[in-house]
Amino acid sequence: MRLCYSHLMDEKLFRKVEHALEEPGRLESMRSAFRSVLDKQTRNAGRIPDLEERRERLREVRASCAGDAALLERAVAGLEANRFRVLRAADAAGAVRLVLEEMGDEKLLVKSKTNLAREIGLSGALAEAGIEVVDTDIGDRVLQLAGEQAVHPTGPCAHLSRYDIAAILREKLGIEVEADPSAIIEAVVADLVPHIASTRVGLTGVNAICAAEGAVLMVHNEGNLDLVSQRPGKLIMLAGIEKVYPCIEDAVSMAKLETYYATGQPVTSFMRVIGGPSKTADIEKELYYGVHGPRELTLILVDNGRSALMADEGFREALFCIGCGACLLECPVYDVVGPVYGSPGHLGGPGVCATPIPGSGRRMEAAVEAGLPLCTTCALCRERCPVRIDTPALVEELREMAVSAELLPFGEQATLVSSVRNYSNPWGQPRRGREKWAAGLRVPEAGESTTVFFAGCSYAYLVPEEARSAVRLLTAAGEAPLLLGADEACCGGPLARIGERDAFRETALRNIESLRAVGAARVVAACPGCLKALREYASISDLDLEVLHITQVLDGALAEGRLAFRAPEALTVTYHDPCHLGRGQGILDEPRRLLEAVDGLTLLEMEHSGLYSTCCGAGGGVRTAFPGLAARIAEKRVHAARETGADLLVTCCPWCEQNLGEAADGAGGPEVVGLLSLLARCL
């Protein structure tokens, strides 16, 4: 029985998602800003010709540095030798306490952008202690005045239009401001200058700690960080313990990538390296400190669960993040619900993964509250991430831990799990009905072939015409596939995606025994979810099995001249890449070659296709738990298909076909068809 508070968490998260769905226009400015960043990335990609090499190098550096205690200690020693005062905070409360101690009797603090301050709740805690905190970044200051939550680490108020911001300034500052960006910036700067000029203490975040030099590096565009860091009394810097780099060259290379992926620009406006307090040797060549700027430099190193993440090899990758926010730009879930998905300082799927400490129940609750059940596991964030953090894999591992803590499954997902355990399919259908789809088909008996066609639950029960088309196509290609019939159980893929690994293993072992019994050496799957799950069987069995998607087999037969297609009439189609087939298994070209081989058919590509295809919204258990969210994501994909002018929207995933089909019905088309039934009609 799930713990009672988990039901309250379910309801709380569901309400937040529903509220976001009720205000679809609320985030339109954010979406427009994100599209602008992507456009700038496209335009400026050529200005970083070694972009991929830099990504690989950064991944290697982050993998070697995150959790390297010896490197961190070398960095601390270098910093202290350069007259930094280095303090350590075990948790958020400890970090806040250290900042309060560093403030002394000062009652005004000016702050530049730092997501770590959001994570530890610094501004609220200082306000309670009677200290006024003034954010000096334009976007952060607007949010501070409005009491709103950031939507992006480097573009915090991207969800607010110029008209929204002008209204906020009129209300909160009592001044008349035109809804013009220049006027808005001028008004915010005019508000900030007196605060900056009158304080002795500034606080900043840190992009990198350079171990070899004993220095810190900060990146900024507005110039406010320079003003904040030059307060005459003290500069307080916050840094997570994962921010260490071997040397300044590696840190600068990271900063270049962070800038490109955060803003689309090849270089930031300002890059500040601090290697100690100001000093001069102009008098008798002796060093004297404290010429300009702060007399004291204090760096607070914050753990707040990072050590536990670093100690767990499966979760250490979450701390490779450089904070660029590229993962948010095309995330199908974040596009719909915004910062509902994530936590302060850690937005979106990667933010959810950085939230918990493995094995800690309370922090696991925080991960669920931050939106752990919302990820469709589409993996587009992994492709866009400069460090290629495998967020879907981390999400699935976290979900498994949440299941063990009785915090998941979420909502109707529990019904799905029970159905698979009781009926061997997620649809509550009787087991005896599983083989009805194959009635009348001529297939070999056991022992006559070593190739098995694995139909899967959705094709067997919901769209049997696709399963029948698959067998027709395989037969036409010269294959002779066996069928498991009633001995075929759910592949277990839906269970694995929502964290039910024990249940996944149970159903996987049933299928493994059935495959072993018929002497299978090769399995052909039509459903991408089944394909992924069947390939995961290798981790729990020594059964030597080649697992292929049906488009791989048909593509091979096409190349050898064993298949030919002709459309019954002229058709234009667009193809939707299922996430678990395209990005998940690298099968992108085979479906397209099959469509392009159909005489009389024209293939039109959507704006986002192939490796960067956007998600239909059904995966990762989202359609089961959040049908409204899945529908909204599907509507956007259907709109993209309609923009091509194609007659048909073709896909080869039953989940995609169902979710997109319902969205298309509500939007007046285009008609959604399965790839296999279309090809079978064109044989």
Sequence-ordered list of residues with C-beta below 8 angstroms from that of 184, at least 6 positions apart, any chain: 162, 165, 166, 169, 177, 178
- Per-residue pLDDT of 502-560, as tens digits, reads 999 999 999 999 999 999 999 999 999 999 999 999 999 999 999 999 999 999 999 99
Phi-psi group of 598: left, alpha or beta (phi > 0 → left; psi -120 to 50 → alpha; rest → beta):
beta
Question: Please, what sign has the CA dihedral across residues 52, 53, 54, 60?
Answer: positive
- 342-343/346-347 β-pairing: antiparallel
pLDDT of 21 over the 50 cut: yes
Mean pLDDT, all residues of the chain: 95
Residue 72 has pLDDT above 80, yes or no: yes
Beta bridge partners of 549: 525
The DSSP secondary-structure symbol of 428 reads -
Could you read off the pLDDT of 319-355 as tens digits, one per residue? 999 999 999 999 999 999 999 999 888 899 998 998 7
d(CA 280, CA 317) in angstroms, rounded, equals 42
Residues 626-648 have a mean pLDDT of 97
**E strand map for 17-120:** 85-89, 108-111
Strand pairing category for 270-274 and 215-220: antiparallel
- Asked if pLDDT for residue 256 goes beyond 90, the answer is yes
What distance in Å separates the CA atoms of residue 192 and residue 418, rounded to the nearest whole number?
58
564-681 and 59-136+200-304 share a CATH fold: yes
Q: What is the pLDDT of residues 168-189, one digit of tens each?
A: 999 999 999 999 999 999 999 9
**Is 384 within 8 Å of 334 (Cβ atoms)?**
no
Rounded to 5°, the CA angle 414-419-425 comes to 125
> What pLDDT shows up at residue 358?
60
Residue 458 structure tokens: 């959705």
On whether the CB atoms of residues 125 and 97 are closer than 8 A, the answer is no
211, 71 contact by CB (below 8 A): yes
pLDDT of residue 357: 63
pLDDT value of residue 315 = 86
Asked, as a colleague might, if the bond just before 409 is cis with ω within 30 of 0, I would say yes
Looking up tokens 């530890």 gives 120
Cβ neighbourhood burial of 149 (10 Å; 0-12, 13-18, 19+): middle
- pLDDT at 98 > cutoff 60: yes
The tokens for 51 are 């972009």
pLDDT tens for each residue of 552-565? 999 999 999 999 99
**CB 21, CB 632: distance < 8 Å:** yes
Quickly tell me which residue has 């220049």 as its tokens.
182
Is the pLDDT at 1 greater than 70? The verdict is: no
Q: What is the pLDDT of residue 575?
A: 98
Q: For residue 571, which phi and psi values (nearest 5 degrees)? A: -135, 145
How far apart are the C-alpha atoms of 456 and 491, rounded to whole Å?
7
The hierarchical CATH code for the domain 564-681 is 3.40.50
* Domain boundaries of the chain, sorted by first residue: 4-12+314-404, 59-136+200-304, 150-199, 413-555, 564-681
For residue 343, what pLDDT is reported?
Answer: 86
Element of type H or E holding 414: helix 413-423
- CATH of range 59-136+200-304; options 3.40.50.10420, 3.30.390.10, 3.40.50.720, 3.40.50.150: 3.40.50.10420
Residues facing 76 on adjacent strands: none
- Between the two ends of the chain, the Cα-to-Cα distance in Å is 52
pLDDT band for 471, please (50, 70, 90 cuts).
very high
Instruction: Write the class of the CATH domain 4-12+314-404.
Output: mainly alpha
What confidence score (pLDDT) does residue 7 get? 65
Q: Calculate the CA 136 to chain-centre distance.
A: 29
When pLDDT is averaged across residues 393-408 and rounded to a whole number, the result is 94
